[in-house]
C-alpha cells in the first residue's frame, strides 16, 4: 500500500517525512486556522466556500496566509490526486509558522500551509442513521469577544473538554450553551431543531460557526418547503423538539435520539431528518456543487 502523501509549504511529502517544527506557533499556541473539507466521487464539495471561510478566519486573527486562494485550491486538488482519492476527508491547515518560545506573532515571519487527505468516521453507520445520545455540557461555548467559534482556529480546548465529559458519561456528543444560556452548537457541528414541521438553527452571533453544510441544509430544506428560522434557541425548546440533528462536513447529518436523558421525538431519526439526509446525499454528489479533483 502506497504511503499517504501530505502537502506542506509547496512540497508533497510521504507521511513518514511530513513534519513541522516544534517552534511552529500552531503547535505551541494553537495559533492557526483550518478547514475540514469533503470530496465526493471525484469532486471537492464547496471548495471555494471552504477556502473563503479559511481566509476570513485568518483575517480575524491577522494571520497573513501569503498564498493566493487559487494556489490554495490547487494544493488541495494536488494532494487528492497524489493520493488517488475520489472520496475523502481533507484537512486544510494554515499555522502562524515558526517563531520562538515567546507569544509574539511578529516573531513568525512566514505562515505554513498543510493539506492532509484521508478518511474520517465520527459515528457508526447505525448511530448516524438511528440517532445518537447527547448531553448539554457544563462547558460554555467561548464568548464571541474571545476565541469565538465563528473563527475556525486550531484552539479546540473548549470542544475537547466537552467531548471528554460526553465520553465520561457514555454520550456520543455534547451540546454547548453560550454564556447567555442559549443553545449554540455541538463540539464540531451545527445544530437544527424541527418543531411542527419547521426548522430552527442558532445564529452565528450566539457563537456558532457559520457552517457550510448548515447553509446547504437550509437551502435543501427551503426547496422541500420547510421554513427555516435562525434565532436563539433555549434548552427547553431543545428538550421538547420533534426532531434534533447535527450538521457538519465530517458529520454530514446526524440525528439526535436523546439529550440529557430526555427522549427526542420517537427516540430515533425523525421523518424530516431522514428526508434531509437523503436529499443532502444527492446534493453533495451533484458535480455542480463541487470542484473536480480527478
Question: Which residues are catalytic, by number?
Answer: 152
- CA–CA dist 35, 165 (Å, integer): 25
The SS3 call for residue 60 is helix
Measured between alpha carbons, how far is 225 from 229 in angstroms, rounded to an integer?
Answer: 13
Q: How far apart are CA 35 and CA 248, in angstroms?
A: 11
Grid coordinates of 70? 487559487
Q: Which three cell numbers stand for residue 74?
A: 490547487
Q: Return the axis-axis angle of helices 69-82 and 47-60, rounded to nearest 10°.
A: 130
Return d(Cα 76, Cα 116) in angstroms, integer.
8
The β-bridge partners of 198 are 195
Cell numbers for 114, please give them: 498543510
Residue whose cell numbers read 486562494 = 69
Q: Where are the beta strands (DSSP E) in the chain?
A: 5-8, 11-14, 32-40, 43-45, 88-95, 112-118, 132-136, 173-177, 183-186, 190-195, 198-201, 228-230, 243-248, 252-259, 262-263, 290-292
Whole-angstrom distance, CA of residue 125 vs CA of residue 254: 10
Instruction: Give CA–CA dist 131/256, Å, rounded.
Output: 5
Helix (H, G, I), strand (E, B) or coil at 96: coil
Amino acid at each position: 500500500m502506497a504511503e499517504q502523501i501530505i502537502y506542506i509549504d509547496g512540497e508533497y511529502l510521504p507521511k513518514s517525512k511530513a513534519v513541522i517544527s516544534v517552534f511552529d506557533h500552531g503547535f505551541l499556541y494553537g495559533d492557526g486556522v483550518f478547514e475540514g473539507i469533503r470530496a465526493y466521487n471525484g469532486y471537492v464539495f464547496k471548495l471555494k466556500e471552504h477556502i473563503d471561510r479559511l481566509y476570513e478566519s485568518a483575517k480575524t486573527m491577522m494571520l497573513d496566509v501569503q498564498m493566493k486562494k487559487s494556489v490554495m485550491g490547487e494544493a488541495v486538488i494536488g494532494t487528492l490526486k497524489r493520493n488517488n482519492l475520489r472520496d475523502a476527508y481533507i484537512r486544510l491547515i494554515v499555522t502562524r509558522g515558526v517563531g520562538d518560545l515567546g507569544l509574539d506573532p511578529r516573531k513568525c515571519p512566514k505562515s505554513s500551509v498543510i493539506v492532509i487527505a484521508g478518511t474520517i468516521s465520527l459515528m457508526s453507520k447505525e448511530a448516524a442513521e438511528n440517532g445518537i445520545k447527547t448531553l448539554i455540557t457544563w462547558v460554555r461555548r467561548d464568548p464571541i469577544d474571545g476565541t469565538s467559534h465563528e473563527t475556525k482556529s486550531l484552539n479546540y480546548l473548549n470542544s475537547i473538554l466537552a467531548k471528554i465529559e460526553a465520553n465520561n458519561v457514555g454520550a456520543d456528543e455534547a451540546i454547548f450553551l453560550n454564556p447567555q444560556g442559549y443553545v449554540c452548537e455541538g463540539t464540531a457541528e451545527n445544530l437544527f431543531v424541527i418543531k411542527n414541521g419547521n426548522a430552527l438553527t442558532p445564529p452565528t452571533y450566539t457563537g456558532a460557526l457559520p457552517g457550510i453544510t448548515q447553509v446547504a441544509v437550509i437551502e435543501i430544506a427551503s426547496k422541500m418547503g420547510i421554513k427555516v428560522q435562525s434565532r436563539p434557541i433555549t434548552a427547553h425548546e431543545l428538550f421538547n423538539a420533534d426532531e434534533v440533528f447535527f450538521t457538519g462536513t465530517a458529520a454530514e447529518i446526524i440525528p439526535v435520539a436523546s439529550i440529557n436523558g430526555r427522549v427526542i421525538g420517537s427516540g430515533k431519526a425523525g421523518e424530516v431528518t431522514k428526508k434531509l439526509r437523503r436529499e443532502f446525499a444527492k446534493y453533495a454528489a451533484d458535480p455542480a456543487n463541487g470542484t473536480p479533483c480527478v
